[in-house]
Structures are given as C-alpha cells and as structure tokens.
Amino acid sequence: MRSVTILGIPIHAVTMSETLDWVAAAIAKRAPRQICTTNPEFLVTAQRDAAFRGVLNDSDLNIPDGIGLLWAARRLGDRLPERVAGSDLVVAIAARAAREGWRLYLLGAAPGVAERAADVLRAAHPGLLVVGTESGSPRAEDAERLIGPIVAARPDVLFVAYGAPAQDKWIAAHRARLGVPVAIGVGGTLDFIAGQASRAPRWVQQLGLEWLYRFVRQPWRARRIAAAVIEFPLAVLRR
C-alpha cells in the first residue's frame, strides 16, 4: 500500500472506505495486525521516543488521523486522499461489524466507560457482538490479567483506549499472544462514544479546526495541542 513518509514515519494513503476493506481482509486472514491512528502529535512524540518510533514503523497500517498530515504530504509534493479519524473509524467498524458478525472487544478508558460505549454501539447497531469490555491499565504488571480474557473471547477487532503512545506500545508488545486479527489504539474514542466527552461539530472538523475546539473545551491539553499545531508544522518546514 502506498505511504507518504512524514518526519520519518510512513503514513498510508488510504480513505475511510479502503481502511474498512483492509480491516475486512485482515479479519479474513486472521494474522494479528496493528493499526495506528497517526496524527501530528504522534509524529512529534516519535521524534523523541525511539520505542514509539519503532512501533509506528512496525505497524501494519498508519491511518492519516489529522488534517495536518494532509498539509504535510502536500508540502512534500505528495498527497494523502483524506483524513481518516480514529474516532470515525471505530464507529464505522462497529456498523460493519453488526452486518458481518465481527466480534469487538473494548479495552481501556476509566472504569465503566467501555461498558457504556458498548451499550451505545449495540443500541445503534442491533445484533452487534461486543464480546468483552475492560478498563484495565497499560501497566506491564497488569498485562497478564488482561490478556487471558481477551484471548478467550476471540475478538476480531480489539480497541485499546489508553492514549498514545501507551496504547500503541501495549498492542505491539502483546499482539502476537493476543492473536487478534486487528488491534487499534483509539485514544479518547470510548469517552466520545460513551458521552463522557464531546467531539467538535462536523463543520468545525471540516474547517480543520477540531484542535481549536479541543483547546477551548480542554485547555489543560494546551501542550499536546501545541505539539500538533506549532511543533509539527515547524518540524515539517525544517526538513
């Protein structure tokens, strides 16, 4: 699959619909694969975190989750077709899962959030199989307790909501043992689905201003947002 290398990390040139077809093909093949919802903040973090850089380079699919990546690709004389937001992908996978009988497992977020997100998804997509929910933790010492029930539940898709880079490192460390065809780090997506946090309205997203909405709603994220909207473009322009 074609990719554009931005700050040393390959970002795959996929649309949402191609991503869903990729997921379907991975589930049919059953070998464990990892998707990263790469955004500008991921790439800034990866510049100073070699372990995270390794995970992103070994990941099977890095979707372009961030309008800044589309801009960076253009600066490099290349092109990414569209933004594929991780939060949209989770909802789209749930819709397709209900039709195809895919089994979903929701790991992470605060206690109770994954259960509530599962209820919301089941209500929206009757027949959806959520075969497990667990808040868990990304700590190494908790992995043993978490892995057994996931393996036993035999999910087709595992969503891991510990925030980046912890979630992506956790998947990379355990994916062989988990044996789940598709594992994806999904950040705060379970919070959005459960109604714990709200996403920007569509028109704000379409203007490329989701980061500004997040800054107004969650000013304590300022440092992380600055990584995406200041550090990232400066690093791209410097290259």
Binding of residue 68 to ligand UDP (CB under 6 A)? no
The kind and range of the H/E element at 182 are strand 182-185
The kind and range of the H/E element at 3 are strand 3-6
Question: From CA 67, how far away is CA 165, in angstroms rounded?
Answer: 19
Binding of residue 229 to ligand UDP (CB under 6 A)? no
Binding of residue 52 to ligand UDP (CB under 6 A)? no
Binding of residue 117 to ligand UDP (CB under 6 A)? no
Per-residue string for binding with ligand UDP, 174-193, x by CB under 6 A? -------------xx-xx--
**Which C-beta is closer to ligand UDP: that of 110 or that of 152?**
110
- Residues touching ligand UDP, count (CB under 6 A): 13
Confirm if 38 and 11 have CB atoms less than 8 A apart: yes
Question: From CA 192, how far away is CA 198, in angstroms rounded?
Answer: 6
**Interface residue with ligand UDP, options 69, 85, 104, 109 (CB under 6 A):** 109
Per-residue string for binding with ligand UDP, 126-165, x by CB under 6 A? -----------xx----------------------xxxx-
**Which C-beta is closer to ligand UDP: that of 110 or that of 230?**
110
Residues near 139 by beta carbon (within 8 Å), at least 6 away in sequence: none
* 3-class SS of residue 72: helix
Question: From CA 42, how far away is CA 39, in angstroms rounded?
Answer: 5
Catalog residues that contact ligand UDP under the rule CB under 6 A.
Answer: 108-110, 137-138, 161-164, 187-188, 190-191
